[in-house]
Chains A and B, each alone.
Chain A
Amino acid sequence: MEYLVASAIGLMTATGVYLILRRRTFPVVLGLTFLSHAVNLFIFSSGRLKMAAPPIVGRVAEPSDPLPQALVLTAIVISFGMTAVIVLMAVGARFGTGDDRVAPEREAP
């Protein structure tokens, strides 16, 4: 199971980074979404993996670590807020400047 989670984190990170490196706004928005997914899963996994052990008192004796879960829960909502801001920036740039480029015409090194 650990290998599955780790490889998922890795691939989502790679996709996120690749998409953020695109020159148009929409792929960057998708890239940020992937990166948020990867980071959330990464923080969650730092509490180590457990199955059938939700952190509810009385249900189990040895629960999964609730703290990373609490952190990730708020992170999920915050990353939505961030995505929404970026999306509006993208739309604003599209209509403010007339195109959806991330940076002015110029070759990146």
Chain B
Amino acid sequence: MSPVLIAALPFLGALLAGLAARAGRTAVMLAAGLCTAAALAGLIGHWPAIAQGTPVTAAFDWLPQVGLEAAFRIDGLALMFAGMILGIGILILIYARYYMGETEDFARFIVYLMLFQGAMTGIVLSDNLLLLLVSWELTSLTSFLLIGWWRDATEARQGARMALAVTAGGGLALMAGLLILGQIAGTYSISGLAAHAEAIQASPAFLPALILILLGAFTKSAQFPFHFWLPRAMAAPTPVSAYLHSATMVKAGLFLMARLWPVLAGGWEWTAIVATTGLLTMVIAAKIAFFQDDMKALLAYSTVSHLGLITFLLGLGTEPAALAAVVHILAHASFKAALFLTAGIVDHETGTRRLSRLGGLARVMPLTFGVAAVASLSMAGVPPLAGFLSKEMALEEAAHATVFGLPWLVALIATIGAAWSVGYSLRFLVHGFLGQPREDMAEPPHDPGAGLLISPMILAALTAVGGIVPMQVLAPLADVAASAVTGLPVHGHLALWHGLDSAALWMSLAAFGAGVAFVALWPQLSAMFEAAPKLDAKRMFDAVIGAITALARRIDTQMHDGNPVRSFALAVPAMVAVGLWAFLGTSHLPGDRAVLSPHPAAVIGWAVLMLATLTTAIVHRARLFALLLTAAVGLVLALAYAVLSAPDLALTQISVEVVATLLMLLALSLLPRVTPAETPWPARLRDAAIAAAAGIGIAALALSIMLRNPAFPPISIFHWAQSKPGAGGTNAVNTIIVDFRGYDTYGEITVLGIAALVIFAMATALLSNRRALARLRRHDTGGNSGDPHPQIVQVAVRFLLPLALVVALYIFLRGHNLPGGGFVAGLVVAIGLLLQYIASGFAWVEMRRRLSPHALIGAGILVATATGAVAWGFGRPFLTSTYGHVILPVIGDIELASAAAFDLGVFLCVLGAVVLAIAALARLGAATTDGEEEEG
């Protein structure tokens, strides 16, 4: 199976799970589970090749200009991680099916979970730094949705927000780090980086890149001092905690460090930062974990501690340490997932996860106890379980590490960490399950059904089998993964017994003794811990976030106080000043282009336009008059376009002017008739000065452009030359719109459609707002002109509609060769329809309207998209056009361009948008009057 398909299957699962929502929870679980299983099967199918050391790759260009290639690669490390993600994913899906309450929106939950799974799979399979980054961010987002699943709960929201802030903040650092890394290496291919390892480590930018990348990894893997988000993320439903914090999310940081190990490890910087952080995290978190009362919190801090241990091992930078890290990743995933699921079962059955309120569950829940015992003893490092094996390997590495010239320091710290680890593992077991059963439970707890138990049982079995026969179960996978990490062939010897001269054995024994003592001394230790002062990470985090928010708000209110007039009054002079500064900065030659002599009719038109414009500015408070003057300006403008050889523009301008004026007339009936005189004259003078500066500036700019010839030949020479042979039309403006710049037009009609939908939504919102509706009802639309819909007008206008349709058809058909086209045709039909609204009233038209404008907009965009997509079928880029001749009887030779279909999309969309926009206003207008009057 192609790696691309493996990476895509979880997303398909998300889609199918969403679609199966109505078919019940089992169907949802099966849809998601089967996709996951298929991906896992495909992954396992690659095992023979990968066991031979041959990675499986697949790639296609995505954005080659920025080095973004959708490259996927499965090697040993990717196989191991993807196997954990998908394998444990299946178990979690089964568990979640029985865990989530009946009232939960289970399908949505599974969709989120599968999206997360897809993002994680993307991280581990990607062979491109940028693709990895995209997946990385996707895990932050989807985990936010999962952690905050119970959005009614404050701590769930806060936990989710904190997780997002920390991991997404780290993601930003990671982005910077990976970009630097890619720049140094000259490639964003992960497998290609290793060849540049020496050059990368020698670069002066190496240390910043390393620190930034590690920030990303440490925040994700909850390393000290970024560990605080992980325990708060326990507000998530237990399946999420088990999945995110055993096998996936927090392991992403480890994966990143392992993946980039050949490139980044080896130098002192790596070891100093990574090993130290890991060791500190391990011991600090292990101690905190021991004192937790909540089972999930205990497991959360223990996860932080184990992640620290693995980070430490990766930080050592040696091959045996890398092998130990890989083995411990596997072991930890198995026992930790089992423990989380067990904690969930306890919570489910007893209603609490607090160890101080639990005890004696072993007698009433024997099966659950069995799972908990195996998994927590594995976590404690008791033979013959997998946890013992990997901890021995880790301690062995710690015993041989030397810092500050002290050969015993690392070993000591590691042993202390291991002792706490034994302590909390035993505490989970002893305080939760042993002792006398509690009498104060509302209902006596008992083992849950098979649905909840099967997943943790399988995991517990794995951790046991992995420890008993490691060479058969763990070693093959660990070997290929470690080989992929180090780039060298690794053949580890995994065994439970290494002889009496093994340092790890004695460290283990010491840790075990101390751990047992800790549990025995629990009451005293607990009292000491409670008395000791502690830092509250949440309060510190909240303080930092609060300070940042306050700063942002202060800057924001200073820059932008919500008054657009003020912003505009500042922006316009600034723009004029910049233009003036640029103008004065260089020398200028006088314009040499011959000036057109003005036509006498043009001078008259100009005079009308100038007079109307100036009058509008002066008398704008009389709103209706100002509106009429504005319309007059628009009409003169249309004439100007006609005179200046732009017939298409003239047609468009004149039809838009009609529609726009209609729209504003409607609006004016809903607004006050006059603008009150409330601005004092100094302010008016200032505004006039600003306006004059802008006007003079733009006029000077326009004039200096028009008085000079272009410095470069215009690109439209190409459009002109290719209009007929390339696009099959003689109207160059139309061929540019529907063909050469079809993509622009495609975007524009989409924007127009969206604008109309926004208008519709705003009108709907206004009508559903009770206070606004009350104001609307009270509004007096002003002068009553008697009969609002005289019959003679109604009849006359009804004849206009077919006429408008014919004219539009004519304009549309000739558009490719002569002035016209979809835009104008759409406007003409819209005007024909709007006249019906005016003549016969809103309600009359709405009752007889068959086509909804929404459908027209949708159809327009679909037609345009389909026209563009047809080109794909011929292996050409989107919107490639073609044309041909069709000979019809009677009519004769007709030239058909595929662009005409695109123009049809433009037509439909423009028509729909205009009608929808005006109808929305008309609906508001209809709400002011009594509905019955409209009916007549």
Contacts and interface: CB of A to CB of B under 8 A. Distances in A.
B671 A26 contact: yes
Given A30-B616, A58-B730, A96-B769, A21 B691 contact: yes
A69 B646 contact: yes
Interface residues of B, number: 125
A63 B720 contact: yes
A100 B687 contact: no
A50 to B, nearest CB: 5
B27 interface: no
B695 A17 contact: yes
A98 B772 CA distance: 8
Interface in A67-98: 67, 69-70, 72-74, 76-78, 80-85, 87-92, 94-96, 98
Contacts of B715: 67
B29 interface: no
Interface in B247-292: none
Interface string B737-780: 10001001100100110011011001101100101110110010
Given A20-B568, A72-B646, 8 more contacts: A9-B699, A13-B691, A14-B694, A17-B687, A19-B616, A21-B569, A78-B752, A95-B769
A3 B720 CA distance: 28
A41 B110 CA distance: 55
A74 B748 contact: yes
B5 interface: no
A100 B731 CA distance: 45
Contact of A67 (B606, B719, B918): B719
Q: Which of A14, A20, A89 has the most CB of B within 10 A?
A: A14
Nearest to A11: B613
Contacts of A70: 733-734, 736-737, 741
Contacts of B744: 74
Given A11-B610, A44-B649, A96-B772, A56 B671 contact: no
Interface in B626-685: 626-627, 630, 633-634, 637, 640-641, 643-649, 652-653, 656, 659-660, 663-664, 667-668, 670-672, 675-676, 678-679, 683
Contacts of A85: 755, 758-759, 762
A30 B613 contact: no
A25 B702 CA distance: 29
B806 interface: no
Interface in A14-36: 14-27, 29-30, 33-34
Given A4-B598, A49-B596, A73 B823 contact: yes
B698 A19 contact: no
A77 B640 CA distance: 18
Contacts of A29: 664, 667
A57 B645 contact: no
A48 B609 CA distance: 20
9 tightest Cβ-Cβ pairs between the two chains A and B: A10-B699, A14-B695, A66-B732, A18-B691, A103-B563, A1-B596, A6-B703, A81-B755, A67-B716
A102 B823 CA distance: 32
A20 to B, nearest CB: 6
A81 B756 contact: yes
Contacts of B723: 57, 66
Contact of B597 (A1, A66, A91): A1
Nearest to B629: A30
A28 to B, nearest CB: 8
B924 interface: yes
A91 B817 CA distance: 41
B596 A51 contact: yes
A15 to B, nearest CB: 4
B720 A57 contact: yes
Contacts of B672: 24, 26, 100
B88 to A, nearest CB: 50
B860 interface: no
Contact of B751 (A7, A15, A81, A103): A81
A53 B751 CA distance: 32
Nearest to B760: A88
Interface stretch (B363-371, B580-588, B705-713): B705-713
A77 B652 contact: yes
Contacts of B572: 17
Contacts of A19: 616-617, 620
A26 B656 CA distance: 19
Contacts of A58: 724, 730
Given A66-B736, A109-B566, A54 B755 contact: no
Given A69-B648, A83-B663, A84-B663, A15 B616 contact: yes
Contacts of B719: 66-67
Contacts of B652: 73, 76-77
Contact of A2 (B562, B698, B707, B716): B707
A63 B732 contact: yes
A81 B606 CA distance: 27
Contact of B917 (A12, A24, A84): A84
Given A4-B598, A21-B690, A51 B752 contact: no
Nearest to A62: B720
26 contacts: A1-B602, A10-B696, A13-B698, A13-B699, A19-B616, A22-B675, A26-B672, A37-B633, A41-B640, A48-B593, A50-B644, A52-B645, A57-B720, A57-B731, A63-B732, A65-B716, A67-B716, A76-B649, A77-B910, A83-B663, A84-B663, A92-B763, A95-B769, A102-B564, A103-B564, A103-B566
A31 B398 CA distance: 75
B683 A12 contact: no
A75 to B, nearest CB: 9
Given A23-B565, A67-B716, A84-B917, A96 B656 contact: no
B574 interface: no
Contacts of A20: 565, 568
B706 A5 contact: yes
A13 B745 CA distance: 26
Contacts of A59: 730
B313 to A, nearest CB: 59
Contacts of A17: 568, 572, 687, 690-691, 694-695
Contact of B733 (A23, A66, A95): A66
Given A51-B596, A73-B648, A18 B769 contact: no
Given A8-B610, A91-B921, A96-B766, A26 B691 contact: no
A45 B771 CA distance: 48
A72 B716 CA distance: 14
Nearest to B708: A48
A56 B730 contact: yes
Contacts of A102: 563-565
A18 B257 CA distance: 60
Contacts of B741: 70
B688 interface: yes
A26 B783 CA distance: 19
A65 B645 CA distance: 9
Nearest to A25: B671
Contacts of A7: 606, 610, 699
Contacts of B562: 103-104
A34 B633 contact: yes
Contact of B620 (A14, A25, A30, A73): A30
The interface centre, meaning the residue of B648, B751, B921 with most chain A CB atoms within 10 A of its CB, is B648
A26 B568 contact: no
Contact of B565 (A56, A73, A103): A103
B823 A98 contact: no
A87 to B, nearest CB: 5
A30 B671 contact: no
B762 A67 contact: no
A96 to B, nearest CB: 5
Contacts of B771: 96
Nearest to A29: B664
A1 B762 contact: no
B667 A73 contact: no
A50 B648 CA distance: 15
A88 B776 CA distance: 14
B679 A22 contact: yes
